[in-house]
Amino acid sequence: MLRTFACDVAIFQESKIEVVSRPIAISLWGRRPIEWLYLLLVGHSGGNIVIWDPQVWELGDSCIGLFSVCCRFKSLEDNFEWGLIGVYGPHNY
């Protein structure tokens, strides 16, 4: 799907991947160049991965919280800036 829509930023929620190594990130992204950051699992669930093309976007500030990953990106083409927030929270009933 990422190739079909020519995505240059993607977020994977509920990845359930404990450590996102370079080979894993490349296998998800399907191409190079690549940059990524990720939110660790909480128990046996969760895990968010943000992947982007560093030839298109520059990562500004980022923050990895207990249940969220936040990124500020800047376009290398026109300096447009925007933010992305991925949130995962366990369900407590």
Q: Could you tell me where the DSSP H helices lie in the chain?
A: 22-29
Q: Which two tokens stand for residue 2?
A: 């990422």
- Looking at residue 24, its pLDDT comes to 87
- Sorting pLDDT into bands at 50, 70 and 90, what band is 93? very low
Q: Which two tokens stand for residue 84?
A: 């992305």
Residue 68 has pLDDT above 60, yes or no: yes
pLDDT by residue (tens digit) across 21-52?
889 888 888 877 999 998 877 666 667 889 99
CA 49 – CA 93 distance, rounded (Å)? 26
78 near 50, Cβ under 8 Å?
A: no
Q: Considering the chain, what percentage of its residues have pLDDT values greater than 70?
A: 89
- Looking at residue 85, its pLDDT comes to 92
pTM above 0.85, yes or no: no
